[in-house]
């Protein structure tokens, strides 16, 4: 949670936080990933068996990708889509590889070879150290297929699909906890697009049956952007079986300020979704109180938000059916750091967030035949997952604000847009971590910041050593982390167009 006072550019910026003002626990699952059968994410990203440069293990998995996922400490990975899941038949992707059928794929108009499927994904997650999160096909798929998949993955009984798993060489169930009830079912591009009424009716019945089969699973309801009547309605109807409500946002703009500050719209979306969740938890008696929500609670259970697709993405620049290979610059790096600030600030509402996507497709990592490129946005992801854990701290910021055009347009009229965007966390190791995006394209910000330690670790990404359009290539890593130290005295200068993480021991030692 951040409070903000706008100042003029002549006044001194100021950031205040205290370890006494812890607000909520940060769920480590906010640093999750997403791998879809799309472009080069799976084939050529996770799985590259034909690679001739010694970059794969005995499973055909890219070892450089695995190392980066481990470095990012990715706790959970969503799979197999995305839009892809609308026509996916999970049974095609298990069993002997030679017998797996090739199928037309209708989301991105490719051909799915099914050489990578459930068992390969489970093995990959085990190596990476991440929990799997599977999305069910509620497009062409049936409830019977979904129940069979849950049984295949989770059952230890002597039943058909659990035995198919055993025959495929996997005696021990995978115990997949997180299951999504479809993906973007409202989308006109979606195979078997649903109305909110049709989706809610189906999701309720699926939720009931899936939880009868395995009461330990957590179900993620398919929301929209968190600010729509779809979100309100499906929550209202399905809250009983909903553990998390999924929302998606992508931001981007050609101009730096509109681009870097766009993720503030996600902050508003989270606040609105949290209100819709609370609304759904109440009994509404329209006959008696047409305009009021009665105080009677429908359920004490409070679903969290699963922000299971987020990132900077301009689909015109990087079209989905061409593999969505975005090239990220310093402006995008500022946006991604701001996205992560939003998740930390709003941690009391967020159960999980998975960046879309993890490899090659709108991703922090790009593979080539001979190696891997860590894009600019890799670095804030790394610093956040490493240090912005524990509890969110309240922060007060005094800074100047942006007043120009925004993307989306409504952002300018609904939210304050400080040029210093801040979140703070108190780690379980007793360190205070302060994450600051200086979104200004031209001005450093010399800032008052009360620090109770004589040594502050400083990690800076972007800033004065970079131009706003700098990006990384295989031969030229222009943007990475710069490490330094500050003695905690005087003021701290946040460089223009930078992300900085400051870290010091709360007790000053």
Write out the residues near ligand AHR by the rule CB under 6 A: 36, 38, 81-83, 183-184, 309, 356-357
Strands 456-462, 498-505: pairing is antiparallel
CB of 391 to ligand AHR, least distance (A): 31
Q: How many CB atoms lie within 10 A of CB 429?
A: 12
Q: Which is nearer to ligand AHR, 13 or 141 (CB)?
A: 141
Q: Residues 118, 123, 128, CA angle at the centre, nearest 5°? A: 125
- The least distance separating ligand AHR from the CB of residue 352, rounded to whole angstroms, comes to 15
Min separation Cβ 180 and ligand AHR, Å: 10
User: Which residue number has the CB closest to ligand AHR?
Assistant: 82
Q: Closer to ligand AHR at the Cβ: 308 or 421?
A: 308
DSSP labels, 229-262: HHHHHHHHHHGGG-SEEEEEEEE--SSHHHHHHT
CA-CA-CA-CA torsion sign (410, 357, 372, 499): positive
Round to whole Å and give the CA distance between 354 and 247: 11
Q: Which is nearer to ligand AHR, 81 or 263 (CB)?
A: 81
Shortest Cβ 110–ligand AHR spacing (Å)? 13
Strand, coil or helix: what is 203? helix
DSSP string of 1-28, one letter each residue: -EEEEE--TTSPPEEEEEEEEEEEEPPG
Whether the CB-CB separation of 68 and 22 falls below 8 Å is answered with no
Tokens of 219: 């179900």
Residue among 2 and 357 whose Cβ is closer to ligand AHR = 357
Taking the C-alpha atoms of residue 335 and residue 77, their distance in angstroms, rounded to an integer, is 22
Active-site annotation, residues? 184, 309
CB of 82 to ligand AHR, least distance (A): 3
Q: Which is nearer to ligand AHR, 32 or 427 (CB)?
A: 32
Q: What DSSP assignment string belongs to 55-117?
A: -B-TTSBBHHHHHHHHHTT--EEEES-SGGGGG--GGGGSS-GGGPPPEEETTTTEEE--SS-
| Closest distance to ligand AHR from the beta carbon of 320 (Å) | 6
Cβ proximity to ligand AHR, 225 vs 367, nearer residue = 225
Q: In the complex with ligand AHR, which residue's Cβ is closer, 82 or 117?
A: 82
Q: Which is nearer to ligand AHR, 356 or 439 (CB)?
A: 356
The nearest distance, CB 36 to ligand AHR, in angstroms, is 5
Contacts of 252 (CB under 8 A, 6+ apart): 259, 262, 312, 313, 314, 317, 332, 335, 407
Give the separation between CA 433 and CA 501, rounded to whole angstroms.
7
Cβ neighbour number for residue 297 with a 10 Å cutoff: 11
Residue 16 CA to residue 173 CA, distance in Å, equals 49
| Cα–Cα distance list, 46 to 37, 162, 376 (Å) | 10, 26, 20
Whole-angstrom Cα Rg for the chain: 23
CB of 487 to ligand AHR, least distance (A): 44
Closest of 298, 302, 327 to residue 314, by C-alpha: 327
Q: In angstroms, how far is CA 329 from the centroid of its own chain?
A: 19
Shortest Å, Cβ 390 to ligand AHR: 30
CB 22 within 8 A of CB 392: yes
Nearer to ligand AHR, 83 or 228 (CB): 83
With both helix axes pointing from N to C terminus, report the angle between 196-213 and 143-154 in degrees, rounded to the nearest 10. Answer: 30
Rounded distance between C-alpha atoms, residue 365 and residue 311, angstroms: 13
Closest by Cα among 292, 454, 467, 309 to 376: 467
């Amino acid at each position: 949670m951040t409070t903000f006072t706008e100042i003029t550019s002549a006044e001194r910026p100021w950031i205040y936080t205290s370890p006494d003002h812890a607000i909520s626990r940060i769920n480590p699952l906010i640093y999750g990933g997403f791998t879809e059968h799309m472009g080069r994410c799976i084939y050529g990203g996770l799985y590259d068996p034909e690679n001739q440069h010694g970059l794969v293990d005995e499973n055909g998995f890219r070892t450089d990708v695995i190392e980066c996922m481990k470095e990012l400490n990715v706790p959970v990975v969503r799979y197999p889509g995305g839009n892809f899941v609308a026509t996916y038949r999970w049974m095609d992707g298990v069993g002997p590889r030679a017998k797996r059928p090739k199928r037309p794929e209708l989301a991105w108009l490719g051909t799915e070879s099914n050489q990578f499927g459930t068992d390969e994904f489970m093995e990959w997650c085990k190596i990476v150290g991440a929990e799997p999160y599977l999305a069910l096909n509620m497009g062409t798929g049936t409830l019977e297929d979904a129940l069979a998949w849950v049984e295949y993955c989770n059952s230890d009984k002597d039943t058909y699909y659990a035995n198919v798993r055993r025959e495929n060489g996997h005696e021990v169930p995978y115990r997949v906890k997180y299951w999504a009830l479809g993906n973007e079912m409202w989308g006109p591009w979606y195979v078997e697009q649903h109305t909110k009424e049709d989706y809610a009716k189906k999701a309720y019945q699926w939720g009931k049956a899936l939880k009868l089969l395995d009461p330990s699973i957590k179900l993620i309801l398919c929301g929209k952007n968190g600010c729509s009547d779809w979100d309100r309605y499906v929550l209202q109807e399905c809250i009983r079986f909903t553990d998390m409500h999924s929302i998606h946002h992508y931001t981007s703009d050609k101009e730096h300020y509109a681009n870097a500050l766009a993720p503030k719209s996600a902050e508003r979306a989270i606040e609105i979704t949290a209100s819709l969740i609370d609304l759904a938890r109440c009994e509404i008696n329209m006959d008696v109180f047409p305009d009021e929500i009665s105080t009677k609670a429908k359920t004490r259970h409070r679903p969290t938000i699963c922000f299971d697709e987020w990132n900077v993405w301009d689909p015109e620049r990087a079209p989905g059916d061409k593999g969505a290979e975005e090239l990220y610059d310093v402006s995008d790096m500022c946006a991604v750091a701001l996205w992560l600030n939003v998740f930390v600030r709003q941690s009391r509402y967020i159960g999980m967030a998975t960046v879309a996507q993890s490899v090659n497709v709108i991703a922090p990592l790009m593979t080539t035949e001979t190696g891997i490129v860590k894009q600019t946005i890799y670095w804030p992801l790394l610093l956040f997952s490493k240090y912005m854990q524990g509890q969110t701290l309240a922060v007060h910021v005094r800074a100047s604000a942006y007043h120009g055009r925004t993307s989306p347009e409504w952002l300018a009229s609904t939210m304050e847009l400080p040029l210093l965007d801040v979140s703070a966390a108190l780690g379980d190791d007793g360190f205070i971590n302060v994450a600051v995006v200086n979104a200004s394209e031209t001005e450093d910000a010399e800032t008052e910041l009360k620090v109770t330690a004589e040594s502050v670790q400083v990690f800076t990404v972007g800033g004065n050593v970079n131009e706003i359009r700098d990006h990384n290539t295989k031969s030229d890593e222009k943007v990475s982390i710069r490490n330094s130290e500050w003695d905690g005295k005087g003021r701290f200068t946040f460089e223009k167009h930078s992300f900085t993480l400051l870290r010091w021991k709360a007790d000053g030692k």
